[in-house]
């Protein structure tokens, strides 16, 4: 590993950002895993409830909406993570790299 890379990795601001990114990623993973486990348990324990129509004259069942929620929730938290990773976290990384490069040239 070269000196510049090591200095970036040792930078306190970079370490704080890396920790925040890790916490966010693991939190979203645990949240998605929990929702999926509850979804699967619900299917296993009460499969008939997925076939209950939403309304009296409706052909759409609750299972469609519950499954759609799981899918859309996964897409939403992925979008939030990507937005944050490519926004705030990337800006911090670039700022640290520039600061370390400036220190190297001094």
Contact 54, 65 (CB under 8 A): yes
Tokens 């009460």 belong to residue: 46
Its pTM stands at: 0.81
Which residues does 56 contact at the CB level (< 8 Å), separation at least 6? none
pLDDT tens-digit readout, 23-79:
999 999 999 999 999 999 999 999 999 999 999 899 999 999 999 999 999 999 999
pLDDT tens-digit readout, 64-97:
999 999 999 999 999 999 999 999 999 999 999 9
Q: Which long-range contacts (CB under 8 A, 24 or more apart) does 8-14 make?
A: 8/93, 8/96, 8/97, 8/100, 11/96, 11/99, 11/100, 13/92, 13/95, 13/96, 14/92, 14/93, 14/96
């Amino acid at each position: 590993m070269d000196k510049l890379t090591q200095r970036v990795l040792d930078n306190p601001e970079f370490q704080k950002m890396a920790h925040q990114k890790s916490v966010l990623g693991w939190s979203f993973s645990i949240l998605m895993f929990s929702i999926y486990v509850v979804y699967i348990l619900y299917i296993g324990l009460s499969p008939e409830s997925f076939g209950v129509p939403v309304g009296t004259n409706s052909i759409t069942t609750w299972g469609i909406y519950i499954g759609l929620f799981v899918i859309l929730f996964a897409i939403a938290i992925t979008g939030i993570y990507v937005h944050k990773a490519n926004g705030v976290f990337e800006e911090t990384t670039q700022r640290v790299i520039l600061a370390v490069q400036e220190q190297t040239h001094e």
